[in-house]
Amino acid sequence: MHKSTKWLIWEIGVVLLVVVILAFLHHPLLFPYQWHKLLHILGAILLVGNIIITGVWMFMAERTNNSDVMRFAARMVNWADVFFTVPGILLLITNGDILSEQWGGIFQVSWIVASLVLFAFSGMVWIGLLLRYQNRLITLSESMHGEKGSPEFFNVLHKWYFWGALATVFPLISLVLMSLKPKIW
């Protein structure tokens, strides 16, 4: 397992711990409402920006057909998750949880519930598939010294593209729901 993946696992554990603590404390408003809203928006920017740009980054690396570039990109995608995706998730979940109390709680408003379900699906794809593929891409790229990528590398990469696109669509729909706040049911 790559060092960055170990960091990701640790960070995900911290996010879960913070969520449990906030629930235990009954979702306290730690800052003024507008600050929580700003932090929630910052979390959305970090998450959505990073999941889009890492896909573009890997696609551009693949186009070079340069093993050094692909190896660097494979590693940096994981590190980008450490520095941007997980902090974005932490800001989104914690501040979204706190902000939802102003609406009666996360299960009281249809657009919040729908957004949370989509967000959870995206997280399941990321944790269940994408992290495994990212780890595999790093491992496969480490053996490509000066040569073109192996068919297995490109097979895993194309699976990563497919599932990554799916995991990107869910938060984008959540972003639309959070912005428009439609009554769904």
Whether 110 is covered by a domain: the verdict is yes
- Asked whether residue 81 is assigned to any structural domain, the reply reads yes
pLDDT of residue 27: 82
In total, the chain counts a number of residues equal to 185
Predicted structure pTM score: 0.89
- With b for 16 or more beta-carbon neighbours within 10 A and e for fewer, the 101-125 pattern comes to beeeebeebebbbbbbebbebbbeb
In a domain, 9, yes or no: yes
* Cβ atoms of residues 44 and 88 within 8 Å: yes
**pLDDT at position 25, please?**
86
The pLDDT of residue 8 is 87
Q: How far apart are CA 144 and CA 147, in angstroms?
A: 6
What number of helices (H) and strands (E) belong to the chain?
A: 7, 0
Please check whether residue 77 lies inside any domain of the structure: yes
Q: How many independent structural domains does the chain possess?
A: 1
- What pLDDT does 131 receive? 94
Give the amino acid at 89.
I
Mean pLDDT by 10 residues, the chain (185 residues): 87 91 85 95 97 97 92 95 95 93 90 96 96 95 79 96 97 96 93
What pLDDT does 139 receive? 94
- Write out the residue range of the structural domain in which residue 50 sits: 3-19+30-180
Please indicate, yes or no, if residue 50 is contained in any of the structural domains. yes
* Residue 68 domain-assigned (yes or no): yes
